[in-house]
Structure 1
Amino acid sequence: MTKPSDLLQKQTFAFLDIETTGGNSSRDRITEIGIRFWQGGEVVGEWQTLLNPEARISPFIERFTGISNEMVADAPRFEEIADDLEAQLEGKVFVAHNARFDYGFIKSEFRRLGRLFSAKVLCTVKLSRKLYPEFRRHNMDALIARHNLAQVQRHRAMGDVAAMLAFFERALADHGADSMTTALNTLLQRPSIPSHLPTDILHDLPRAPGVYRFYGENDALLYVGKSTNIAQRVASHFSGDHNTSRGVRMSESLRRVDWTETAGELGALLLELKQIKQMKPLFNRRSRAAKNLVSIELTENSEGYLQARLVREIEPHRLGDYFGLFRSKRDAENALSGIAAKNDLCNKLLGLEPDQAGPCFQRTLGRCRGACDGGEDRVKYNLRMQIAFHNLRLRTWPWKGPVGVVERNPENDRTDILIVYNWMHVATVHDYQELEDLSLRSQAVTFDLDSYRLIAKTLMAGSRERSLQIIELDAVGSPDVMMP
């Protein structure tokens, strides 16, 4: 084997595995910890213990791990071994397979005691992906089979530790100390973290879809963002991708990060829009709520010619009668001016000139064909109007009533059912019982330009988005609609 580099020679690696009562570090507890210490090519010690989780171990977990309630009844509680564990891990590289799981549980146990725990973390899943990118699967069973490692007692702490360390040594033998050191340095390199945040903040963040929020001094909300991978997106904020004066000011102000997970991207997008409009974060520039949403309605005048008028009260049940959604009267009038110029339509009938006797001003310039003074046939003019405005017509709601859009994330076993009606996001529930109990009549929602565009694009798009399950809902009532 190649002589270890200085990193491999001098640094102690703590290969750690835990067994737990479940998969959620906020509510489940640790039942076993096993650690094997490695430095300079050899094992230099080990430490292990069963733990009393102060909670019942379910029959499923008992069958999975082989650890029963009787086995842990007289075992120490975490608080009794916390000092020793912290001393064992001090200055070591915390190595685990899918390290976010093990590290998250250890941090949560310390947090319950009112203590902070932090370590430099190496994930052997990521190490395998980096050193063996030609393979698709990198779970422990796959590594044991692929590298012909010795069989161990799986799902017991020291058995999994033995398999993990065997993989590490096999990778070192395959790639040599220099390549191994390069890979380790890359994986152990921490992003530049704003000075007022914990250095291991990224280990707490989920690798899942959702919305994240940055807070400053006095808990002022600085920024709301969304991502299909919260941890990855937040890390990018701390990297060179955001070396703007705005990014620097936000980073210097940052004091706290929190987040809300969702099952999928649509839920994250809708939650981001809602929170930006309601919470008004200081550094978000886009998607603020429009105070005066404006649309265009076509009606016939007394001579039967179609005329345009601006409307501010949009009735969601008759969206097909409206053309365009605009954030201001000026935006709507600019759109009308463009349509008039492109199609030689009458500015008077479009409401761009006062409704006075005689032809419009554009008629005198030859840019109106005479609908204002009877010079153009009514049927022909109305047909040209309908063609000119066709692409601005709002989508009518294609279902009889509200629908539930189901998003599932198999990686964290999360399901969101997004209740949508007339292109408005009404509510989110997480299972069918909540759906049955939901009364839309108690929900107040606002018809919103950004949500309309997002939902219409997603639900009316091609095969990828169509893979979303859509449930038509009956007998749940209709929400109260508020206009901006």
Structure 2
Amino acid sequence: MTSKSTILDTATFALLDIETTGGNSSWDRITEIGIRFWRAGEIVGEWQTLLNPETRISPFIEQLTGISNDMVAEAPLFEEIADDLETQLKGTVFVAHNARFDYGFIKAEYRRLGRLFSAKVLCTVKLSRRLYPEFRRHNMDALIARHGLAQVQRHRAMGDVSAMLAFFEHARGEKGDERFENAIRELLQCPSIPSHLPPDTLQDLPRGPGVYRFYGEKDVLLYVGKSTNIAQRVASHFSGDHNSARGVRISESLRRVEWTETAGELGALLLELQQIKTLKPMFNRRSRAAKNLVSIGLSENDAGYLQARLVREIEPHRLGDYFGLFRSKRDAQRALSGIMAKNELCNKLLGLEPDHEGACFQRALGRCKGACEGLEHVERYNLRVQIAFHGLRLKTWPWKGPVGIVEEDVRSGRADILVVYNWMHVATLHEEEELHDLSLQGQAVTFDLDSYKLLIRALMDRGSDTGNVREKQPRVIELPPIGEPDVLMP
């Protein structure tokens, strides 16, 4: 009878440490790599090199690591050792202390070369937490002191690798092969999470749709996101693939995760927009509320010609009277300039130059047909204006009153009824009976560009034939008209 093989017998563990010019993989670079290969209780090889980081090493980093600019001046570039390093690490378990740091830097270096790098990653900080939960500190200095490990040259790659290997073998001997192996297997199956989060963070997260929030120190809200699978999406933030400085900063600052479940994707999207605009998380930029939402209105002047004006107060019950939604006056004027140039309309009547006696500037260039001088027939000019602006006309609300959009999550049994009026999300209910007691009279809800676009897609576009699969429209419950046109005004 043969004994069952274990990961400790069959896997090669590449215990790796790097030294760098700083702590951010987006712009800092690696100056040294050290690796010791361990399999079945024995060291089976090692690999080490200094690297030219192609940037200056600061005096602080020189003093911390002992690696000077002179030492790396003639060292190889990362691209020169990239193939060899990839060969050395192929098929191994990538082991590092605070592995997100080392793994993130290695991936960043390969990404600069247009290459991908991935490996099974084992973090010895998390291994220490798993095996020694009674202790609070798990940095390398704490491990050396606590377990009586031999002193090494700290902040040099092979010195830190020696300390990591000493802990690895000490923990195996003290805890026994079975417990040591189980801890490793569990960690290799779990997504890596930032060190300041509780180890079981991902276990509590729901597998359905909703919104999640990342909080930092002193409960500062860092980031709001949405997903159809909260647990999966949050885990993807912790994959170790740091694509941006922002991702690194969020990971380093993160202390707590909160979430709100929804019954479907539309509810999650609307809640995400609402929370980004009202809670103003530090790292969300896209979807921030526009400070000066602007549209364009058309009205006749004394001579009967249609003239454009910028509208800053959007009245949701009059959306059909507006053309376009813009985040700033400049964006609206840029759109007007494009319409003028394409359709040879009058600069003065479009409000692009002051109203003065005589022809507009474009008339002198032959780009206006003379409406500014009364030379173009009023009906002809107005027809051209209506055609030019037709594609920008906002969609009027197609129902007589509010509606309830029903979303249901079959997996959890949850149901949400999203109450929407004039393309504004005004409430979320969970039972159809609640609709009978719902009163929207006097509620103040701000008309919002992002929600308008989102609800247009959800209610109008999803029923259209996309050329592939015809998407199922959501179930809509029509509610009684409110009656007052100024209800739900911003």
Report deviation, 1:410.
0.7
Higher alpha-carbon deviation: 1-10 or 334-343? 1-10
**Amino acid of the structure 2 residue aligned with 1:277:** K
Instruction: Give 1:355's aligned residue.
Output: 355
Check if 1:413 corresponds to 2:413. yes
RMSD after superposition: 2.4
Shift of 1:477: 6.4
Kindly provide the CA deviation profile for residues 316-350 of structure 1, in whole angstroms up to 9, marking residues without a partner as x: 11111100011111111111011111111111000
Matches within 5 A, 1:51-90: none
The separation in 2 between residues aligned to 1:476 and 1:187, in whole angstroms, is: 57
1:468 to 461, 469, 474: 474
- Structure 1 distance, partners of 2:3, 2:386, is 79
Superposition TM-score, scaled by structure 2 size: 0.61
With over 3 angstroms needed to count, the CA separation of the structure-2 counterparts of 1:347 and 1:476, relative to structure 1, is closer
Shift of 1:240: 3.7
User: Which residue in the other structure is 1:448 paired with?
Assistant: 448
Aligned to 1:314: 314
User: Hey, what does 2:301 align to over in structure 1?
Assistant: 301
- Per-residue deviation, 1:367: 1.1
Which residue identity lines up with residue 276 of structure 1 in the other structure? I
Match of 1:70 in 2: none
Cα distance in 1 for residues equivalent to 2:257 and 2:338: 45
Contact 1:212-1:225 at 8 Å conserved across structures: yes
Equivalent in the alignment of 1:249 = 249
How far is 1:465 from its partner? 5.3
d(CA) in 2 for partners of 1:377, 1:482: 38
Contact 1:404 1:418 in 2 (8 A): yes
Q: Which residue of 1 aligns with 2:330?
A: 330
What is the TM-score normalised by the length of structure 1? 0.61
Rounded Cα–Cα distance in structure 1 between residues aligned with 2:415 and 2:366 = 60
Is the contact between residue 316 and residue 489 of structure 2 (CA under 8 Å) also seen in structure 1?
A: no
Which letter maps to 1:283?
A: F
Are 1:481 and 2:456 matched, yes or no?
no
1:16-37 per-residue CA deviation (whole Å, 9 max, x = no partner) reads xxxxxxxxxxxxxxxxxxxxxx
Query: Within 2, Cα distance between the matches of 1:3 and 1:414?
Result: 49
**CA distance in structure 2 between the partners assigned to 1:475 and 1:383 by the alignment:** 34
For residues 293 and 452 of structure 2, the distance between their equivalents in structure 1, rounded to whole angstroms, comes to 12
Give runs of aligned pairs for residues 25-424 of structure 1, distance below 5 A.
188-424=188-424
Letter in 1 for 2:265: E
Give ranges in structure 2 of 5+ residues lacking alignment.
11-128, 132-180, 464-469
Q: Is the 8 A contact 1:191 1:239 kept in 2?
A: yes
Tell me the CA shift for residue 481 of structure 1: 2.7
**Contact 1:362–1:368 under 8 Å retained in 2:** yes
| 2:408/2:414 contact within 8 Å kept | yes
Are the aligned partners of 1:438 and 1:476 in contact in 2 as well (CA < 8 Å)? Answer: no
Instruction: Report how far residue 474 of structure 1 moved.
Output: 1.4
Report the 3-state secondary structure (helix = DSSP H, G, I; strand = E; otherwise coil) of the residue aligned with 2:248: helix
Q: Measure how far apart 1:480 and its partner are.
A: 3.6
| Percent of matched pairs sharing the same residue | 72
User: In structure 2, how many angstroms separate the alpha carbons of the residues matched to 1:412 and 1:280?
Assistant: 30
Letter of the aligned partner of 1:303 in structure 2?
A
Partner of residue 141, structure 2? none
Amino acid at match of 1:371: A
SS in 2 for 1:351: coil
Q: Distance in 2 between matches of 1:451 and 1:352?
A: 29
Deviations 1:169-228 (A, max 9, x none): xxxxxxxxxxxx9xx969952222111001221111111000000000000000000000
Consecutive unaligned residues of structure 1, counting only runs of 5 or more, are 11-117, 121-180
Counterpart secondary structure, 1:223: strand
Aligned length: 314
Could you tell me whether the CA contact under 8 Å between 1:263 and 1:407 is conserved in 2? yes
Matched position secondary structure for 1:206:
coil
Letter in structure 1 aligned against 2:363: R
Give the stretch that moved more between structures: 291-300 or 241-250.
241-250
1:245 CA displacement: 0.9
Q: CA separation of 1:327/1:389 partners in 2, compared to 1, >3 Å: closer, same or farther?
A: same
Residue 474 of structure 1 aligns with an amino acid whose one-letter code is P
* Residue identity matched to 1:311: V
Q: Secondary structure of 1:199's partner?
A: coil
Alignment partner of 1:208: what SS? coil
Shift, 1:433, TM fit = 2.1
Question: 1:131 matched to which residue of 2?
Answer: none
Classify 1:387/1:241 alpha carbon distance in 2 versus 1 (closer, same or farther; 3 Å): farther
Shift of 1:2: 8.2
Measured in 2, the distance between the counterparts of 1:192 and 1:207 equals 18
> 2:426 is matched with which residue?
426
